[in-house]
Every structure is written in structure tokens, then in C-alpha cells.
């Protein structure tokens, strides 16, 4: 497995990480614990060193899962987790944490729970899960800076933050990585975010790099999701929009056929080709999909192929919003 460095703070990870949310939350019922532990350990055996979780996934269950599964590999893997939501006991609505809380005292309280659940002495990468408009980002960065000084956190990250917020946070405590959605069907970060990260020396960790599964080619207008799968509420996943957006998957399929690959591998290879400091974190709960995703690292797209993909993709308007309107600012996913 190739490695990449996130930002200029020396955080070295595998070129592809593993997003772990779906093992416990959001994409249907929680998966079998023993099976997920086996999958996580299989990922390590295949060279994956970068694992992504969050306090809210479950809640708590996903951190506990990673803590148990990855404990034998302490010092060999990098675990990223996230803070920034009010306790479920106070703010849970319809099974989701819907209230932001990045007050410094809250951050310093909840880090203790994450450390315990992950069974680590220090969190490798600690993201603010979503920007909290009620708390100045300087105060958030200052709280994490204190945690770094105390040895409880190694690196500071942000998620879905805007360019100016990134700059303000970085001025207080250098940001190692930004995690935001980025893929061939969501290219908004190319406008301001990627240039800002490039300038400041911050790594980029795209979540949903396969469009929540859509870019794999395994989802079409007739696909039925489990009733607890949050994609049922996503406008982009309406049957009508899935049919329209299938044009992008068709394009990936054409390129994949030429390369002896599959659509998802082309989508990931495209991301990897954008910048050397981009590390996508596709999620999966199946070993064959894990191996398929990791195969993307071996797919090299030429400049001509990248130009062809960009030109063709730009001519395909993606239909539907990526989240319901009320979730767009605070989805946590």
C-alpha cells in the first residue's frame, strides 16, 4: 500500500483510508460486531493505516468497535475521530444528534470518552465534526491546542469548514487535515477549498468519495434501501434522480472497461490523481468491496484520461441536492 502525508505536520497514512460509519450507523442497521472486527483487521493486513470514526456514530458504538478491533495495532495505525455535538441524552431527535456543541469545556470533556472508547493514550487526528456558529473557531482551535499540549491529541482537523474558517483556525493551531465531501459528483471544494489547503499545507480527506455508493455502479433507479438507511431522505437518491445521474456512472464504466477496472476504482483513482495530499476514505462493510476499493491505488490515469473524464463529467449535470435542506449545514455524515 502506498502512503501519503496529510499536510505539512508529518501525518503519514495509507493512500486510501477506511470510513467506518456504516459499520454502526446510518446505512441500515448496525452490522455484526465480530464480522466488522474481522473486516477492520483484514484492512490492516492489506496495508490500510488510516481509520475514520466519530463520537456520534452509533452514538459511541463505532468508536468502541474501532477501539476493540485496532487495539492490537497500537502505534501502527492512525485513528481519526470527531467532536462537536451535544450529548444524545440532551438533544437526540429521531435517533440523530442535531445540536452542535463545540464549546471549549465540552471538547475537553468529551475527548476523555473518545480516548477510553478507542483504547488509546492520544487521538491521532481530532476533527471538529461541523463548524459551530455559536463558538468562535479560534476558541475551538485553542481548546484542541491545549489538548495537544497535554498529549491527548496529536493533530487538529476540521470537517466541512469554509475557506475563511480554515484560515482563522489554522492561525491559532495548525490544521493537519480537512475532511469534506468531494467526488466526481460533488466538486464544490475545487472552487475555494482545495486552493486554500494547497496554500496552507493542509491535507484533504474526502468523505463519500464514491457518492455514498452510487459511483460504484451497484445502485440504480430500482434499488431498494433498508428503511433505516438515511439515503431514503437524500434528494440525490430519489428514483428519478438516480436514473438521471446514472449517466455519470456510465461514463466511469466506459473508462473502467478500457482500464480493466470497475467504476468505483476509476472514481477513487480520479480523486487520488487530483493532489498528492488527498486521502479518500471510502467506507464498506464487505471484504470484497474493501479489496476492490484498495485496488484503485494501482489504477493510474493518464493526463489525457483525466482530461477526458473531466470534460465528460462537466457535461453531466448532477440532479438533486446532496442532503435534505435541513441537514445540509449540520448533517454530521
Q: 3-class DSSP state for residue 178?
A: strand
Containing H/E element for 172?
Answer: helix 163-172
Asked if 52 contacts 19 with a C-beta cutoff of 8 angstroms, the reply is yes
Containing H/E element for 177?
Answer: strand 175-181
ω before 303 within 30° of 0 (cis)? no
Q: How many other C-beta atoms are found inside a 10 Å radius of the C-beta of residue 199?
A: 11
Burial class (CB in 10 A: 0-12, 13-18, 19+), 300: exposed
> Is 126 a known active-site residue?
no
Asked if 151 contacts 124 with a C-beta cutoff of 8 angstroms, the reply is no
Nearest to residue 127, comparing CAs of 50, 31, 54, 217? 54
Cα 215 to Cα 297: distance, rounded to the nearest angstrom: 17
Catalytic one among 27, 57, 182, 186? 57
Q: How many other C-beta atoms are found inside a 10 Å radius of the C-beta of residue 150?
A: 11
160-180 core/surface letters (b: 16 or more CB in 10 A; e: else): bbebebbebbbebbbbbbbbb
Catalytic sites, residue numbers: 57
Amino acid at each position: 500500500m502506498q502512503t501519503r502525508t496529510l499536510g505539512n505536520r508529518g501525518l503519514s497514512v495509507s493512500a486510501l483510508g477506511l470510513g467506518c460509519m456504516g459499520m454502526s450507523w446510518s446505512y441500515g442497521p448496525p452490522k455484526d460486531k465480530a464480522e466488522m472486527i474481522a473486516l477492520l483487521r483484514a484492512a490492516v493486513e492489506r496495508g490500510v493505516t488510516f481509520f475514520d470514526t466519530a463520537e456520534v456514530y452509533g452514538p459511541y458504538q463505532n468508536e468502541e468497535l474501532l477501539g476493540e478491533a485496532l487495539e492490537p495495532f497500537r502505534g501502527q495505525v492512525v485513528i481519526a475521530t470527531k467532536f462537536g455535538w451535544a450529548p444524545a441524552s440532551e438533544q437526540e431527535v429521531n435517533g440523530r444528534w442535531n445540536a452542535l456543541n463545540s464549546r471549549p469545556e465540552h471538547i475537553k470533556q468529551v475527548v476523555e470518552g473518545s480516548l477510553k472508547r478507542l483504547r488509546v493514550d492520544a487521538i491521532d487526528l481530532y476533527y471538529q465534526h461541523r463548524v459551530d456558529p455559536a463558538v468562535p473557531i479560534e476558541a475551538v482551535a485553542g481548546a484542541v491546542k491545549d489538548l495537544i499540549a497535554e498529549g491527548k491529541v496529536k493533530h487538529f482537523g476540521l470537517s466541512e469548514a469554509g475557506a475563511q474558517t480554515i484560515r482563522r483556525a489554522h492561525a491559532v493551531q495548525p490544521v493537519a487535515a480537512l475532511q469534506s465531501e468531494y467526488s466526481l459528483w460533488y466538486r464544490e471544494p475545487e472552487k475555494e477549498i482545495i486552493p486554500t489547503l494547497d496554500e496552507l499545507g493542509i491535507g484533504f480527506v474526502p468523505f463519500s468519495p464514491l457518492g455514498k455508493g452510487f459511483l460504484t455502479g451497484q445502485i440504480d433507479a430500482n434499488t431498494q434501501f433498508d428503511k433505516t438507511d438515511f439515503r431514503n431522505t437524500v434528494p440525490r437518491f430519489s428514483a428519478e434522480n438516480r436514473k438521471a445521474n446514472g449517466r455519470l456512472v456510465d461514463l466511469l464504466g466506459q473508462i473502467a472497461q478500457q482500464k480493466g477496472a470497475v467504476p468505483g476504482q476509476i472514481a477513487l483513482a480520479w480523486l487520488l490523481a487530483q493532489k498528492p495530499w488527498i486521502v479518500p476514505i471510502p467506507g464498506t462493510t464487505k471484504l470484497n468491496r474493501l479489496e476492490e476499493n484498495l485496488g484503485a491505488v494501482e489504477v493510474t490515469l493518464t493526463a489525457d484520461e483525466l482530461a477526458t473524464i473531466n470534460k465528460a463529467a462537466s457535461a453531466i449535470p448532477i440532479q438533486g441536492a446532496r442532503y435534505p435542506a435541513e441537514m445540509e449545514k449540520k448533517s454530521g455524515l
